[in-house]
A = this chain, B = another copy of it.
Amino acid sequence: MPRIHRRKRSPVHSARLGSRGRATRERLKTAARCVLDRKGYSQMTVADVTKEAGVAAGLFHRYFPDLRTLTIELLGEVMAELGDTARIERGIGRGDWWGRIRSHIVPSVENHALRPGLVRAMNQLADEYPPFRAQLRDFYKTQLQLLSAQMPRLFPEAKLSATEALLIAYALGGISEAALRERYILRNSALRELQFTPEEMADWLAMLVYRALFAANPPAGRLDGAARLLAVKARAPRPGKNGRSSRKATTG
């Protein structure tokens, strides 16, 4: 966590900047995006950013009070792009759950594939700075609620409360979160060798989410990269009366 000291002479307000100033401010932001992606938030220093921007160290504080403020501004912009749920859901039929799930996962895969460092930085900042954590949570929540808000009506017999639905939504969100972190952020070499395209990755993850949610495979027509997964399923769809009967599923 970049140390933040107390003194603070506030930077020049953006509105009072001339065009040269605005340009420099942008240069710093671009540099920061780059450093953030390379080193992550908790390793970033002011010197990293000014060096990357090709600018004297002291200039930083003319434009930003500290690294955290800059980072929040930056990541906020990324989130705004990503979180355009209207765009994500465009063209998805109301009952087309396979399509909906998949089209929520696709941009997330792309984001991890394209700027893994930024995703990591987001998590670091959220871990260290509660207000941003809240912001990030809201961001996810908005996404998750598109799913969880439907659940009670989708499965009336289960009598799910809104909160129970939320728990399920968080859990399902973890499916792609974990896989994408392992593949793109930690760059697990085995997973890299799979050479999945982002599309295929999205197919596989959407498949798992769909199955966890519906206890069934998605409609077979449009599975694309994930069709092979249809064969991943219990051998005996109707096991006997007690748990032991599932022993049949074993190999050998």
Contacts and interface: CB of A to CB of B under 8 A. Distances in A.
Interface of A: 1, 40, 42-43, 93-99, 120, 124, 127-128, 133, 137, 150-151, 153-161, 163-164, 166-168, 170-179, 182-183, 186, 188, 190-191, 193-194, 196, 204-205, 208-209, 211-222, 228-234, 237, 239-252
3 smallest CB-CB distances across A and B, nearest first, come from A174-B178, A95-B247, A95-B250
Contacts of A155: 231-233
B163 A170 contact: no
Contacts of A96: 243-244, 246-247
B247 A221 contact: no
Nearest to A162: B190
B163 A208 contact: no
Contacts of A244: 93, 96
Nearest to A171: B179
15 contacts: A42-B127, A42-B128, A94-B250, A95-B250, A159-B228, A161-B194, A171-B205, A174-B176, A174-B178, A177-B178, A214-B232, A214-B249, A215-B215, A215-B233, A221-B241
Nearest to A208: B212
B150 A167 contact: no
A245 B95 CA distance: 9
A94 B247 contact: yes
A24 B157 CA distance: 59
Contacts of A229: 158
A187 to B, nearest CB: 11
A231 to B, nearest CB: 4
